[in-house]
Amino acid sequence: MSDNRGNFSGRIGFILAAAGSAVGLGNIWKFPYLAGQNGGAIFLLVYLACVFLLCYPVMVGEIAIGRAANSDANGSYTKLGGKRWGALGTFGILAGIFILSFYNVVAGWAFGYFLHISFGDLLNETDFGGFFGAFVNDIMDVSSTKGFASSNLIFSAVFMALTAIIVSQGVQKGIEAANKIMMPALYVILIGIIIYSLTLPNAMSGVKFYLIPDFSEFRIQTVFDGLKQAFFSLSLGMGCLITYGSYLKKTDNISKSAAIISIADTSVAFLAGLMVFPLVHFLQWKLQVDNVATAGPPLIFIVLPQIFSEMGPLLGRIVGGSFFLLVCFAALTSTISLLEVPVAYFVDSKKMPRKTMVWVLAGVVFVLGLPSMVSQGMVPLLNKLPFYPFIGENKQDWLTFVADMCDISLVIGGCLMSIFISRRWKIENMHAEIELSDVGYSTSFLKKYLTFTITYIAPTLLGVLSVLVILEKFFGLSNLI
């Protein structure tokens, strides 16, 4: 590979960028609502177990593959394992393109909400569910009375364009520089809102729900949700960390970096819960209801704005505006990484010019996202898919369907990656790559732990769970267990 494919300036740059990829809508949008639906603390425990036992080893493996091969996802598998294994890289690149297609739509919503709250019109609402429903179907309302055009088409186009501008600047000047600003800002906003939310009435009831496990709430579904969420949240199973790992210098420590990235991502998910549940329980107290936490996907778009409006016009704008700015930052550092995966493929493996490919791919992904954008009610066919293959009474929409399929493919991708390392590339080669930048590694416990988890635990457990997750999706869990 040519040397001008780019590098991170050092370990900190890489860690910030990879943590930026990991920290995203998955942490702030998905994690709190999944925890809300899956019994709070018990979900947190399952999630942590998945990160420790399965995700960390997979992450180390992915980074090592990328750095050893010094190429994109497809190029890396091809180089280390032959053409056939290259298909696994292609599978990951496609998964990334589909993730980005719907992810950018949700990021556009967050951007729109940021504007609506900052301009104040959202805070005067009385029906937040109704607002959300109208908002997501507002594809082209350029004649809006709100002072600006509330068009999801524009919001998500702006988001994609921002992503493309950053990625087109390259690894160090674009990706690394953007993350160096947005990641610290994200932590500051997050901690600021947590401190505020903990001072609200009934906040402690939210903290209890979140931190004290109620084991009677445990269901097998919690394991599936926790596992899929952990893969999604840590950006695993689709070659993102192979690509970022390929820009890591040989002198930078892989296992420590992976540990810091995992901890950073998990801590943001944890903190997002600590921010959301006190707010939610404050609202439950205020409205004298008790089922707000289980709101599902619209949790941050319907429930939180209601809370911000309860805070009054000024404070609501400040806290609500900061919250959605936080979501935008988190989403942007992830969309950057999602776009970089296919871009790297065309630059490395197909020798295409970076800037051109960035804009071509951004355009393609944007168009691929249009069905997701109109699937929230505007186009009835996409709102309740007629061919929806999954079990469940209410047939779901295209966006949810694509998100589900992507979640499953990440778990399968992680499983195949661990098989690749243990059966094809060989674990010794992975160890050798790690040892290049870690003198104590060869005699460490970590080496044994990674050998054991990547050779035995990850292929079997992820293999079984992949099958179960597919069966559960297509045939329903109740018929199974």
150 phi and psi, to 5 degrees? -90, 80
Residues 57 and 115: their CA atoms lie apart, in Å, by 40
Nearest-approach distance from CB 233 to ligand PHE, in angstroms: 4
Contacts of 423 (CB under 8 A, 6+ apart): none
Distance CA 178, CA 176 (A): 6
- 88 CB contacts (<8 Å, ≥6 apart)? 77, 413, 416, 417, 420
Residue 276 CB, nearest approach to ligand PHE (Å): 15
- 334 makes contact with ligand PHE (CB under 6 A): yes
Residue type, 271: L
Q: How far is the CB of 241 from ligand PHE (least distance, A)?
A: 8
Q: Which of 338, 373, 399, 427 is the binder for ligand PHE (CB under 6 A)? A: 338
- Is residue 306 within 8 Å of residue 128, measured between CB atoms? yes
| 248 C-beta neighbours (distance < 10 Å), count | 27
Q: How far is the CB of 235 from ligand PHE (least distance, A)?
A: 4
Lookup result for tokens 């998500």? 156
Pick from 232, 323, 401, 441 the residue near ligand PHE by CB under 6 A.
232
Q: Pull the structure tokens for residue 375.
A: 């699937």
Gap between the Cα atoms of 341 and 362, Å rounded = 12
**Could you tell me which residues are beta bridge partners of residue 339?**
none
Is 243 a binding residue for ligand PHE by CB under 6 A? The answer is no
333 binds ligand PHE (CB under 6 A): no
**89 makes contact with ligand PHE (CB under 6 A):** no
Minimum CB distance to ligand PHE, residue 139 (Å): 24
Q: Please state, in angstroms and rounded to a whole number, the distance separating the CA atoms of residues 320 and 192.
A: 12
Please report whether residue 27 would count as binding ligand PHE according to CB under 6 A.
yes
Q: Nearer Cβ to ligand PHE, position 8 or 128?
A: 8
Q: Stretches 295-303, 331-339, 361-369, 420-428: which one binds ligand PHE (CB under 6 A)? A: 331-339
Stretch that binds ligand PHE, among 190-198, 231-239, 277-285, 298-306 (CB under 6 A): 231-239
Largest CA distance in the chain: 67
Rule CB under 6 A: is residue 21 a binding residue for ligand PHE? Answer: yes
**At closest approach, how far in Å is the CB of 58 from ligand PHE?**
12
- State the nearest-atom distance from the C-beta of 265 to ligand PHE, in Å: 7
Q: Minimum distance from CB of 238 to ligand PHE (Å)?
A: 6
Please choose, out of 3-11, 21-29, 73-81, 218-226, the segment that lies near ligand PHE by the rule CB under 6 A.
21-29
Considering the complex, state which of residue 164 and residue 446 has its C-beta at the smaller distance from ligand PHE.
Answer: 164
Q: What is the nearest approach in angstroms of ligand PHE to the Cβ of residue 36?
A: 17
Among 15, 25, 304, 412, binds ligand PHE (CB under 6 A): 25
Burial class (CB in 10 A: 0-12, 13-18, 19+), 29: buried
Question: What does 318-341 look like in DSSP terms, one character per residue?
Answer: HHHHHHHHHHHHHHHHHHHHHHHH
Return the sign of the alpha-carbon dihedral for residues 361, 238, 245, 90: negative
Choose between 397 and 407: whose C-beta lies nearer to ligand PHE: 407
Helices (H), 288-397: 304-310, 313-348, 354-373, 380-383
398 touching ligand PHE, by CB under 6 A: no
Single out the residue of 6, 13, 20, 24 in contact with ligand PHE (rule: CB under 6 A).
Answer: 24
Contact status, residue 223 vs residue 472, Cβ threshold 8 Å: no
* Per-residue buried b or exposed e for 319-353, using 16+ beta carbons within 10 Å of the residue's own CB: bbbbbbbbbbbbbbbbbbbbbbbbbbbbbbbeeee
The span from the CA of 255 to the CA of 447, in Å, is: 10
Q: Can residue 242 be called a binding residue for ligand PHE (CB under 6 A)?
A: no
337 binds ligand PHE (CB under 6 A): yes
CA dihedral 106, 109, 111, 117 (to 10 degrees): -140
Closer residue to ligand PHE in complex, CB, 15/203: 15
Which one of residues 15, 16, 17, 22 is an interface residue with ligand PHE (CB under 6 A)? 22
Least separation in angstroms between CB 176 and ligand PHE: 16
Q: What type of residue sits at position 345?
A: Y
Return the range that interacts with ligand PHE (CB under 6 A); candidates 72-80, 151-159, 230-238, 345-353.
Answer: 230-238
Residues 163, 179, 233, 257: which binds ligand PHE (CB under 6 A)? Answer: 233
Given candidates 97, 227, 238, 300, which one binds ligand PHE under the rule CB under 6 A?
Answer: 238
Per-residue string for binding with ligand PHE, 421-440, x by CB under 6 A? --------------------
Instruction: Tell me which residues touch ligand PHE (CB under 6 A).
Output: 21-22, 24-27, 99, 232-233, 235, 238, 240, 334, 337-338
